[in-house]
Chain A
Amino acid sequence: MTASDFFGSLFITFGPLASAFYFGVAYRAYLTVVSVAAGCFWLLGSMVATLFWLAVVPLRDSIFWTSIVYSASLELARMALFWGIMKGEKLTRVRRERILSEENMLIDLTVGVSFAVMSALATQGPLIDLAMGPGTIYTEHCNSMSIFWSASLQSFMMSICHIAWSFLAWRAYHARRRFSVALAFALHILAAIFSSLSALSNGCVPSLLCMSVLTIVSVVAAYRPVRKSIPSRVTLARLDT
């Protein structure tokens, strides 16, 4: 693998995430702490999925079911994180500041970025290790592009989806909208299925196309609740006067 291929795929995977973290999260210390907490809950979801995967032996041979179980577990972890943050806010008696309140969408972004970073590291990490050695690896199912490129493009789109699902899910948790919660869940499962299409013969290109569509759908689905959460100009004008 050439150096340009390596760095190119690395930047495609982690470049947007690094930017989102640096410009959106790192400038506030409490967001960094929240991102660590989100990482821990991601880890918890990953461990739950692992234990389930180990317990149910037939799962181990199916990439579809493995991805679905993993995605479902992450969504449950996201829900648990929301509950945990609310409880933590009450326990530490920071209600006066209400940093972790409904209006603070930076928390949504932080959770999304954190989940995206962890998922990217977990799925791309083993490949980065392989990339250090000589040669370029292609899979028999997808010989039109190297595994590094297809994986990096998949990770890139999945990262955007994680951020969008985070906004969608957290707005829904605050407003207790079950449909939106279910929608976030369903979109994540679908993404896992579409991503797993790479395992089919010549499946990497259809997988990437489906993931692209799903990414756009996820962003659109997240836009409405986010837009609703921003106070209107009328409210701002009243505050001003």
Chain B
Amino acid sequence: TFEHNREEGKALPLVAVSRGGDLHCNTLGMSSRDEVDALVAGSDGANAQDEMGGRRPTLDAEAPVEYTAKHVTSILKPVIITMSLVIWLVRNLGRNTAEEQSYSALMVYREQESDATGTRLFGSLLNALIFVGAIMGFTFVFVLLYKYRCVKIIYGWLTLSVLMLLGGSGFYMFYSLAIHFAIPIDQFTFFFVLYNFAVVGALSVFWHAPSMVRQGYLVAVSVIMAWVLTKLPEWTNWALLCALALYDLFAVLSPCGPLKALVEMSQERNEPIPGLVYEADAPAQRRTNPSAGAVLVTMTLLAGEGPDNGRESRVSMSSVKSDPSQSGRYANESDHLPMGATEDEGEMYDIEDDYEDDDEARGIKLGIGDFVFYSVLIGRAAANDITTVISCFIAVIGGLVGTLFLLAVAQKALPALPISIFMGMVAYFIAVFGTTPMMAVISQVGAAA
């Protein structure tokens, strides 16, 4: 049967029984009988018995697709955790009514409920343009610092930003939580814990820390920043999201884009791109096909092989917004930091270097800015009903997966924000104005669909 069916491109069906005993079907293309025998012999060592006592060939197929998918899911998990935490915070700490809104020093227009639609639209666009302009300016400064190898300034800048964010905005968030849940805590304990939280966070992100602690703090940074940004007025929020998605397109795809320049410089120097990035844990399975590494990409990532046959981890970059002030005033900056030091830099040491060798793949990386703005959109949706939240959640996650898929197809650097933000916004407005009332008609009588 095998020989007879061996045609170009036609797959040979194999039925496999996995170790757990559950039956699943898989199909592989084989070019020779010897490969089938080798595969069977190389399986987990036993031919499974079916319920009738006959022997079946067993198969332990960890295909490149599965390996790539593990990388994708390894980055989906922290994104989902971040968005879930922001949803929880927004729904518990207030739904951003007019009284709860905050304003930034960069905002020239202060939204009022009594303003006309045109005024709100124009004002919010103006605010968004100023924010993006500030981000662009800081990004160019960062690129210049990196170009002239002012690494210590970059380190200091980002460390200070993270400290201010965890200590300042973190104080605001934890204080609000303590008030909301009536947690009995004295000021001394509160500030002692907060101080340690902020300092340990800065050390974990930029110095020694177990991977899980670093990842946890990066998620915390994203959550705090996203929650703070959701407190901006509603129209300004949406305009900011649109503007940043467009800026991301320009920064990555345009020949004069700052992020593109940064990527090219880091490639020339064979260094990781400096930035506040989340690195997911690499799947345990070794990569069997080096070319599969080309699709193991992150946001705004480079397609194609790296200098070391594609085993160099792909890097991501994004702008991260920090809040150096405590009173709800915001300064948007592009914060980038070299994530892992080389062996020559004795001051900083990336603990993950312990686990890096030529045979092990590295995890996928995603910029913290992407976490933040996905969560801002979800936080906006959380101020409405649960149908809107679900729609936006799936849209953002789907956009992220779609971006990774497009990357595999296009094989060139792509920005992370536009697809997810666009899908999220479409889902939000359709949900608010249509899906929610439609679902209310169905669910009000206890029906399902």
Chain A positions within 8 Å of B, measured between CB atoms, are 28-30, 32-33, 36-37, 39-40, 42-43, 46-47, 49-51, 53-54, 60, 63, 66-67, 70-71, 74, 88, 91-92, 94-99, 101-106, 118-129, 139, 141-142, 147-148, 150-151, 154-155, 157-158, 191-192, 195-196, 198-199, 204, 207, 229-231, 233, 235-240
Contacts and interface: CB of A to CB of B under 8 A. Distances in A.
Nearest to B391: A43
B118 interface: no
B353 interface: no
B33 to A, nearest CB: 11
25 contacts: A30-B66, A30-B68, A39-B398, A40-B401, A43-B391, A46-B391, A47-B435, A50-B431, A66-B442, A95-B11, A98-B27, A103-B13, A103-B27, A105-B24, A122-B390, A123-B442, A123-B449, A125-B385, A127-B446, A154-B447, A192-B449, A198-B447, A230-B23, A231-B25, A237-B54
B394 A126 contact: no
Contacts of B68: 30
B63 interface: yes
Given A36-B397, A235-B1, A154 B446 contact: yes
Given A36-B76, A66-B438, A95 B29 contact: yes
Q: On chain B, which size bracket covers the interface?
A: 35 or more
Nearest to B70: A29
B405 A196 contact: no
Contacts of B211: none
A125 B27 contact: no
B387 A126 contact: yes
Contacts of B397: 36, 39
B386 interface: yes
B178 interface: no
Interface centre among A43, A54, A88, A129 (most CB of B within 10 A): A43
A96 B28 contact: yes
B449 A71 contact: yes
Nearest to B439: A122
B144 to A, nearest CB: 39
Given A67-B447, A129-B385, A36 B401 contact: yes
A133 to B, nearest CB: 14
Given A30-B65, A97-B28, 6 more contacts: A66-B442, A95-B29, A103-B15, A125-B390, A150-B446, A196-B447
A147 B442 CA distance: 12
A102 B15 CA distance: 12
B54 A54 contact: no
A74 B448 CA distance: 13
B409 interface: yes
B440 interface: yes
Given A66-B441, A123-B439, A97 B63 contact: yes
B137 interface: no
Contact of A240 (B56, B385, B441, B447): B56
Given A50-B435, A139-B446, A239-B2, A105 B394 contact: no
A239 B438 contact: no
